[in-house]
Amino acid sequence: MRPLIIGVAGGSGSGKTTVAMAIHARLGVDAVFLDQDAYYGDLGHLPFEERVRTNFDHPDAIDTDLMVAHLEALAAGQAIEKPTYDFARHTRADATVRVEPRDVILVDGILIFADARLRRLFDVKVFVDVADDLRFIRRMQRDVSDDLRFIRRMQRDVSERGRSVESIVAQYLGTVRPMHLEFVEPSKRYADIIVPEGGRNTIAIQMLEARVAAEIARRRAGRD
């Protein structure tokens, strides 16, 4: 059976991984996860000061050629060596992670629908949609805040990526939001399913689960 490839896109901190994990947990099938963050380009040849200034929210920051090649290999039943990224050093790490093909391949990333080469590989395209978060940034600067997506991103970057709150805010205002409006939000039109409010939307996840389960059953019956 050819693997079922599910793309889960959405803005940074929207809950893409939560939705992907919920699909996996509910289906109870063998699945592998491919995160677009692992495919940031290798900037090891640049001085650290220049790496810091890189716009990581632009499609050019992604090694899409490698990601496409890896998805095609997994779809063909071949194992891959997925890269890992060092977010503190802003460059690709030496270590790789071996990923074996499975019945379901779950792919998440903010820009996976922005590239036609990736879009054509997805059997199901899901966009996780949450409210705009510029209001939170402005309120945060005045000591008032309530936006969920930015909070998630900030918590992740501080705890996992060696970032300061000040650098996160500066990056958000300078690149994250402008790139979201230019590339991420417009890519929503390519989605087969839009999930408002991310992992909290249990009804949408249940509907998505049913759609995916039906497709897996069809493929296993030999009608792929």
- CATH code: domain of residue 81: 3.40.50.300
Residue 44 token pair: 């090891």
**CB atoms closer than 10 angstroms to residue 98:** 8
CA distance 76 to 98: 16
Report pTM.
0.80
Residues 210 and 200 sit within 8 Å (Cβ to Cβ): no
CA distance 50 to 112: 25
CA distance 69 to 62: 13
Q: Provide the domain count of the chain.
A: 1
Residue 142: per-residue pLDDT? 33
**How does pLDDT run across 163-203, given as a tens digit for each residue?**
566 666 676 777 778 888 899 999 999 999 999 877 778 88
3-state secondary structure of 206: helix
Residue 174's domain comprises 4-220
